[in-house]
Amino acid sequence: MIASDGLPDDTGDAFVKKLGWDPRGRDTWVFLAFRPRRMLVWREENELAERELMRDGVWRV
């Protein structure tokens, strides 16, 4: 969780560019930063053995 006034400028600028409004500096707003640690994908059972694309935050593919 990042306080609205603690958001890095480049991240805040990207947020404003995408959504068209700027919540930085407002006490009631916080930002949540999600950083995936593990990512699994598959379509069918035969793909289950090698479905891990990310482990410990590092891409395996």
Q: Is the pTM of this model over 0.75?
A: no
Instruction: Say what the pLDDT of residue 51 is.
Output: 87
Mean pLDDT in each 10-residue stretch from start to end of the chain (61 residues)? 87 93 86 90 80 90 81
Instruction: Say what the pLDDT of residue 13 is.
Output: 94
20 and 3 within one domain: yes
Question: Quick check: 3 and 30 in contact, CB under 8 A?
Answer: yes
For residue 49, what are the CA distances in angstroms to 23, 40, 61? Answer: 44, 10, 14
Instruction: Say what the pLDDT of residue 37 is.
Output: 94
Instruction: Say what the pLDDT of residue 47 is.
Output: 75
**Sheet with strand 52-55: strands edge to edge:** 39-40, 52-55, 58-59
24 and 10 within one domain: yes
Instruction: Say what the pLDDT of residue 24 is.
Output: 87
Question: Quick check: 8 and 22 in contact, CB under 8 A?
Answer: no
43 and 20 within one domain: no
Residue-number span of the structural domain to which 3 is assigned:
1-29
| Paired sense of beta strands 30-31 and 2-3, if any | antiparallel
The DSSP output letter for 33 is -
